[in-house]
A and B are shown apart, each in its own frame.
Chain A
Amino acid sequence: MNFQVSFFEFPLNVILAVLWCLTVLILWKGFRRTALVRFFLSPLATWLSIGLCASGTLVLGLSSDRNLASSWWFVTEVFFLLTVLLFVTVRGVYRDGKIRWRFLLNHAGLLLAVGSSFWGAPDTQTLRMRLFAGESSSACFSLEGKGTRLPYEITLRDFRVDYFETGIPSVFEADVEIDGNDVLLRVNHPFSRTFSEDIYLTSYGIEGGREYCILQIVRQPWKWLTAAGIIMMMIAALLMFLRGPRTGCPSGVSKMDVPPGPCTAESLKTDGK
């Protein structure tokens, strides 16, 4: 059974995301000694959330069904991971006297990147349009095959494909008019029509002796948050490389939360022997 993503379209997703954040903050502020909060902040919850997501990803990797990524169980695993991540990030912010940049960038970056993709999924729209050379249209289709119309027209004036000797395309570009703007579309060079909408040149073909292009229109209002999270994670990765493995207790974790002695020579002596 797949999750009905479209049911959570704006503004419901924003309301739920805000409520989720508030709930975690309230629980952290007022009920941090309860079993529930202690569980979410425990190492077990961290291992469990990563392990569950990894298991789900393994199933996805072995299966040919891409829709499994929106199955209820995988969505639940990701939501659990995000909740643990939010608790851990909040603890890192509130309990440290000084800001631990690597910890914050790593955790808050992942939270922002995955969280914005998760909560923003209902608002993400991918539409495709087939245009013959010299033709104008506003009609397009969703990936599920549902027809719709854009509030503007796109005209394909011309397009060029050059090939290597091997037959592989070397250059693939199209001159289009989008909403009155003359645009050169190329692979890797989309046109940003608005803050949340980008138009891509994705494919081409021939039908009845006439050449056509496939354009893709992607509406993704949350994309900037995802990009911010990705950049934060990249900075954190650089810090991780420069500073190497961490030692001692993780940010904001009390000594009681940490079982003594990680896998050092002492534990080598006792386990598995």
Chain B
Amino acid sequence: MIWDKFIFFAIASVILSFAGAAFSAVRREGRSVPGIGLSIASSLVLASFIVLLWTTLNRPPLRTMGETRLWYSFFAGLAGIFTYCRWRYRWILPFSAVLSTVFIVINCLKPEIHDASLMPALQSPWFIPHVTVYMFSYSVFGCAFLLSLALLFRKSGEVRDKEIFTSMDTLIYIGLAFLTLGMMSGALWAKDAWGHYWNWDPKETWAALTWMSYLLYVHLRIFGKVSCRTLCGIVIFSFLCLQMCWWGINFLPSAQDSIHIYNR
């Protein structure tokens, strides 16, 4: 089984990402080229496993929880590299390395290897873009969530806090942009597959709640002088909603008749 080989890719990827994170963390100014290079190498290792999985399964590996977690780890690394290259935050590569590693470890412990089948409803050109943009936004929101925790529980320092808030804003804008793309592409796909853009299915309902919650954060930041604890609370609440949407609804009694049952 291809998943048996995942542990080797996982170890290589984790070592490379933490090495890259260490280089970026110690660099005081500018970008750390070795940090970026090692992080890219880490992402390439995961990418090569994804390609291997894809070719072995003869379908896009985007269906099971284990597969979406794999993409999450991959995109968490990419989101970290992108943010570091664009805004040069020293802490972002360590953050994304931790985030990516958490999901890699979960996949090593519980890969949930499923069969190679892709049911007719998922055989659509929308499938790959819809799921990948979602996974990318989830990864970016994961970074924002860690930042909100850091803001809540660390000793405050004005300049550092301001820097963290600016970073959190950036991440939430990027995450919200991709979440919107995911939701809207999902709506267009739903019209083709089931006849309606929106059905208030439990998965869709939690996706809408997540979207609105992040939207509230954006509007509070644009307009008002709102308590930082409130803002961090909204980011944490939004991330919890996102977890409900991603996998939590599988355990929700009210969601047992959801039509989005293929990733259980």
Residues of A whose CB lies within 8 Å of any CB of B are 43, 46-47, 50-51, 53-54, 57-58, 60-64, 66, 69, 113, 117, 124, 126, 164-166, 168-172, 186-190, 198, 200, 202, 216, 218, 220, 223, 226-227, 230-231, 233-234, 236-238, 240-241, 244-246, 250, 253, 257-265, 267-269, 271-273
Give the complex CA separation of A66 and B111 in angstroms: 33
CB-nearest residue of chain A to B115: A166
Q: Does B192 touch A at the CB level, under 8 Å?
A: yes
Give every chain A residue within 8 A of B225 (Cβ-Cβ): 259-263, 267
CB <8 Å contact, B198 and A117: yes
Give every chain B residue within 8 A of A66 (Cβ-Cβ): 200
Residues of B whose CB lies within 8 Å of any CB of A are 115-121, 123-124, 156, 158-159, 161-162, 165-166, 169-170, 172-174, 176-178, 180-181, 184-185, 187-189, 191-198, 200, 202, 205-206, 208-209, 212-213, 215-216, 219-229, 231, 244, 252-257
Give the complex CA separation of A51 and B180 in angstroms: 18
CB <8 Å contact, B156 and A268: yes
Give every chain B residue within 8 A of A46 (Cβ-Cβ): 219, 223
A-B contact pairs, 16 of them (CB 8 A): A47-B219, A54-B216, A64-B254, A124-B196, A171-B120, A188-B192, A202-B194, A236-B180, A240-B173, A241-B174, A241-B178, A244-B174, A262-B223, A262-B224, A262-B226, A265-B162
CB <8 Å contact, A187 and B193: yes
CB <8 Å contact, B197 and A50: no
CB <8 Å contact, B205 and A57: yes
Tell me which of B118, B165, B184, B193 has the highest count of chain A C-beta atoms within 10 A of its own C-beta.
B184
Give the complex CA separation of A270 and B209 in angstroms: 31
What 17 additional pairs, Cβ within 8 angstroms, besides A227-B191, A241-B173, A245-B172? A69-B200, A164-B116, A170-B117, A170-B118, A171-B120, A187-B123, A216-B195, A230-B197, A240-B173, A241-B178, A245-B170, A262-B226, A263-B228, A268-B165, A268-B228, A271-B227, A272-B228
Give the complex CA separation of A265 and B160 in angstroms: 9
**Shortest CB distance B261–A (Å):** 12
CB <8 Å contact, B212 and A168: no
Tell me which of A233, A259, A268 has the highest count of chain B C-beta atoms within 10 A of its own C-beta.
A268
State which of A61, A117, A240, A261 has its C-beta within 8 Å of the C-beta of B202.
A61
